[in-house]
């Protein structure tokens, strides 16, 4: 789960990481009021669950409260499109108004779970700021990486290695090592998958300050953080994924056009591989779960049908606890009386498979029944016009 910059900054402050003074607003007049109190000179920042706001015009330094509210007027209610969003962008419903900081240099600091290292790693660079992605791809040697053993924890020497590697002015070494320790405390205690400060600035007065903050939280740990689950902003999330979460279905939207419904995460992964082998791209990952009910199958299938990118559907059910007849009834129920023209390829095996197939055959839907994955792949291939 992602949270907003202002929410992340509140958490960082609780862990003694310096951030700018600011307040969040939902209307231009609120922005004007806050900016007025700060003396007019402020930074106005769109609050969206995406980076790249600076380059996309979502961040502005202004000199008067009027300018602040004019900019907020422009942003609030609009969609911000950045290189990290879909072409439709994400809605801006809130802006953060902050006291501006005079920046001397911008650094990059992040902690992320690294699957290669099988541990959290810290990444830091003295070339921080808006071009960090370019730095990462063109001159990766400018990014220092340190893996943290989760049992042993972050060590003092690792913090010093990072701080010296950043070529910081001598007086910033100690503050930086404490800041890194504090960021790791945030990462660990909030069960983050990502904790990123970019830019981590040194001001013209020589102080370290987090000018931006991004915390991604592990969904599977949210039950341990009831205070954090309340920060979910569904309007920033893909509407289909929100529906899926509410229905208890494991669904991830992808870029392709083959909708797929599978029971079991491993089988779902294998099914996506099969789709790739057929030179097609899955529109989603979807695991209805081992013991799904007819209702859950129907909800899952409706999700797929409501995705405008879906041109064909592959259903792969291995009927164990979820019986094939239950899955078939769910599919028929989801299609209802509406005239769905998307071709559906169904591979079913296991408990009550004959009954399941019969239900689909007599449903009047355009279903092709296949017996194995190879055939399923072939059918997907054939359906590419």
Per the structure block, which two tokens stand in for 117?
């290292």
Which of 22, 28, 51, 356 forms a contact with ligand GDP (CB under 6 A)? Answer: 51
E-strand spans in the chain? 22-25, 42-46, 59-62, 79-80, 90-91, 95-98, 103-114, 119-125, 143-147, 192-203, 208-210, 214-217, 250-253, 258-262, 284-287, 312-319, 344-350, 367-370
Assess whether 107 carries a catalytic annotation: no
Contact (Cβ atoms closer than 8 angstroms) between residue 162 and residue 71:
no
Determine the interface stretch with ligand GDP among 55-63, 164-172, 177-185, 282-290 (rule: CB under 6 A). Answer: 55-63
Q: Please list every residue from 103 through 162 that binds ligand GDP, using CB under 6 A.
A: 103, 106, 129-130
Query: For residue 212, what are the contacts with CB-CB under 8 A and spacing of at least 6?
Result: 5, 196, 197, 198, 199
Task: In angstroms, give the least distance from the CB of 212 to Mn ion.
Answer: 3
Q: Which of 38, 59, 122, 176 binds ligand GDP (CB under 6 A)?
A: 59
Residue 43 sits in the site that holds ligand GDP (CB under 6 A): yes
Give the Cα separation of 12 and 6 in Å (integer): 10
The residue at minimum Cβ distance from ligand GDP is 54
Helix (H, G, I), strand (E, B) or coil at 170: helix
- Of the candidates 98, 106, 107, 108, the residue annotated as catalytic is 108
Contact 253, 310 (CB under 8 A): no
Say whether 108 is catalytic.
yes
Q: What is the largest CA-CA distance in the chain?
A: 77
Q: Specify the residue, 237 or 295, whose C-beta has the smaller distance to ligand GDP.
A: 237
Shortest approach of ligand GDP to residue 205 CB, angstroms? 13
Residues making contact with Mn ion (CB under 5 A): 198, 212
CA 58 remoteness from chain centre: 19
**Least separation, in Å, of the C-beta of 43 and ligand GDP?**
4
Q: Which does 100 bind (CB under 5 to 8 A by kind): Mn ion, ligand GDP, none?
A: ligand GDP
Residue 212 binds to ligand GDP (criterion: CB under 6 A): yes
- The footprint of ligand GDP on residues 84-113 (CB under 6 A) is 98, 100-101, 103, 106
- Part in contact with ligand GDP (CB under 6 A); list of ranges 48-56, 252-260, 325-333, 377-385: 48-56
Closer to Mn ion at the Cβ: 90 or 373?
Answer: 90
When asked if residue 211 is in the footprint of ligand GDP (CB under 6 A), the reply is yes
Distance spanning both ends of the chain, measured CA to CA = 38
Residues 189-208 binding ligand GDP (CB under 6 A) are 198-199
Tokens matching residue 356? 């399941």
Q: Which is nearer to ligand GDP, 62 or 334 (CB)?
A: 62
Nearer to ligand GDP, 48 or 176 (CB): 48
Residues labelled catalytic: 108, 196
Binding site for ligand GDP (CB under 6 A): 20, 43, 45, 51-55, 59, 61, 98, 100-101, 103, 106, 129-130, 198-199, 211-212
């Amino acid at each position: 789960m992602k949270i907003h910059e202002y929410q992340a900054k509140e958490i960082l402050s609780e862990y003694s990481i310096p951030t700018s003074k600011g307040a969040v607003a939902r209307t231009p007049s609120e922005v004007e009021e806050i900016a007025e109190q700060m003396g007019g000179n402020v930074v106005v920042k769109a609050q969206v669950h995406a980076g790249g706001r600076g380059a996309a015009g979502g961040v502005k330094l202004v000199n008067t409260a009027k300018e602040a509210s004019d900019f907020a007027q422009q942003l609030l209610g609009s969609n911000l499109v950045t290189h990290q969003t879909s072409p439709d962008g994400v809605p801006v419903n809130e802006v953060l108004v902050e006291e501006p900081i005079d920046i001397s240099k911008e650094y990059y600091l992040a902690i992320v779970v690294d699957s290669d290292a099988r541990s959290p790693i810290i990444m830091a660079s003295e070339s921080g700021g808006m071009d960090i992605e370019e730095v990462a791809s063109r001159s990766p040697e400018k990014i220092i990486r340190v893996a943290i053993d989760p049992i042993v924890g972050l060590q003092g020497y690792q913090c010093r290695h990072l701080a010296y590697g950043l070529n910081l002015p001598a007086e910033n070494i100690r503050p930086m090592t404490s800041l890194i320790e504090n960021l790791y405390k945030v990462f660990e205690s909030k069960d983050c998958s990502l904790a990123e400060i970019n830019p981590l600035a040194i001001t013209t007065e020589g102080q370290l300050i987090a000018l931006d903050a991004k915390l991604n939280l592990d969904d599977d740990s949210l039950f341990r953080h009831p205070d954090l689950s309340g920060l979910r902003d569904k309007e920033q999330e893909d509407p289909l994924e929100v529906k899926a979460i509410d229905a208890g279905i494991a669904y991830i939207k992808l870029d392709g056009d083959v909708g797929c419904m599978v029971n079991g995460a491993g089988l779902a992964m294998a099914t996506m591989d099969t789709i790739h082998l057929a030179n097609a791209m899955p529109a989603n990952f979807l695991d209805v779960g081992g013991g799904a009910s007819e209702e859950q199958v129907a909800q899952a299938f409706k999700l797929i049908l409501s995705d405008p990118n879906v041109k064909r559907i592959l259903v792969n059910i291995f009927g164990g606890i979820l019986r094939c007849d239950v899955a078939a009834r769910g599919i028929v129920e989801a299609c209802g009386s509406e005239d769905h023209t998307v071709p559906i390829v169904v591979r079913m095996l296991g408990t009550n498979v004959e009954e399941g197939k019969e239900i689909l055959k007599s449903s009047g839907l355009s279903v092709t029944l296949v017996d194995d994955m190879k055939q399923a792949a072939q059918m997907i291939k054939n359906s590419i016009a």
